[in-house]
Structure 1
Amino acid sequence: MRFVQDIPHTQFRIGLYAWNGKYIVKIEAGPYEQTYKVSEMDLLTPDAVPTLLDDDFLTKVTVRFQEMDTDWQATGERNNVF
């Protein structure tokens, strides 16, 4: 996997990678990560990727991170690990 660029954001660490004919967007928040793949053929340039990360999309990413944390905490409590 080849690193392409960091995409600046105040809340998340966002990295853009290229691998196997796809751009991979990794969005990290604390211990959690969301990964999105898009074919290189679907975009003219990797510079188009940040335009996909608009406010509506990132709001949903935030909610998904919250849900991931809730699920993780719940399984820890159910299984007496946390």
Structure 2
Amino acid sequence: MRVVADIPHPEIKITLLAWNGKYLIKLELGPFEQTYKVNELDVTGGDEEVKKWLDEEFLQQSIELFLTMRNNLHQARRRHDY
């Protein structure tokens, strides 16, 4: 696995990786992680094209998904008395 880029963002850690014919967009916030896999053959503009996808709308929706993930875990723990 090769790190293509670490992309700065004030709230989340963003890493673009290349592995096994795919680009991996890895987003991290606290203990949570989202990974999106894209076939390299589907990206005509290489890693620069993938970086453009990481616009404000995509990142805001990803942050909202992190909040949903945290809530899902919290609710599961509450159901089981943790």
TM-score, normalised to structure 1's length? 0.91
Task: Provide the rounded CA distance (Å) in 2 between the counterparts of 1:38 and 1:13.
Answer: 19
The alignment yields a C-alpha RMSD, in angstroms, of 1.0
Give structure 2 stretches of 5+ with no counterpart.
none
Code of the residue aligned with 1:60 in structure 2: it is Q
Match of 1:56 in 2: 57
Look up the match of 1:10: 10
- The whole-number CA distance in structure 1 between the counterparts of 2:50 and 2:11 is 18
5 Å-filtered alignment, 1:16-27, equals 16-27=16-27
How far apart, CA to CA, are the structure 1 residues paired with 2:75 and 2:20?
A: 36
Deviations 1:38-73 (A, max 9, x none): 111122221222210111111110110010000000
| Number of corresponding residues | 81
The runs of at least 4 consecutive aligned structure 1 residues that moved more than 2 Å come to none
Instruction: Give TM-score, length-normalised by structure 2.
Output: 0.91
Between the aligned residues of both structures, percent identity stands at 43
Q: Shift in Å at residue 15 of structure 1? A: 0.5
1:77 lines up with 2:82 in the alignment: no
- Gaps of at least 5 residues in structure 1 are none
Give the Cα separation in 1 of the matches to 2:7 and 2:49: 11
Partner of 1:37: 37
